[in-house]
Structure 1
């Protein structure tokens, strides 16, 4: 049975992500790619270009925390009172996974938000290739983990 509440929350989240990407492009002429925003802030420290980057990243962190604090949104674990499920692995595995994601964004010259949301909307062929690669890699990974290695839910 379809859970309309979750579907509507997903739709609302998608609309807000799209609006934020459009706003950033219209207001500042910038692409809302999180890896690019963060790496430029940390590695390049551009003069006069720091405030919007910090604000964007602060919103990324504080928005979900605020919604969770309100208690009406965010239960993706399927358990009463839970916000998210238990991690599939320990802290070490999460650190390695995060490192691999970082390496992947460097190799792919961007992340899913930059390519998938902003690049596709600009009809960028490079972003289409990157997004297809992201999706195909995810599909293959789930297949291997669940069906060949016998793990997962």
Structure 2
């Protein structure tokens, strides 16, 4: 009796029943149907749904998550080996996001290289919008470390 009802899966994973229906509609879950047409999920769907939740926390879109899951043979749920392989790919993206968030935290009350030149500090850190020559957006937050102004 390894099959779970939609309510049991929702309770076990900590999401609403409507969220499970949403994930099913997006092609992320594939429940079985009993003779009465009710959804039944395998216990291994706990892992699949947990993967979806983790991937969303990392910042992947539903489409990106589907792409990762669709790459699994026969549409099966991720194994430990699958998770290890996928997590290595996530690591670089997480490291990049951590770096950007650190810059944002450290520069939140100062010049972020956006080019507005409205803060008094902008004349010191980003005169004539030098950051704009290196690309669009807030360069001192999203740009490479080399783009940051010197501390002298």
Q: TM-score, normalised by structure 2?
A: 0.29
Higher relative contact order (CA 8 A, sep 6+): 1
Larger Rg computed on CA atoms:
2
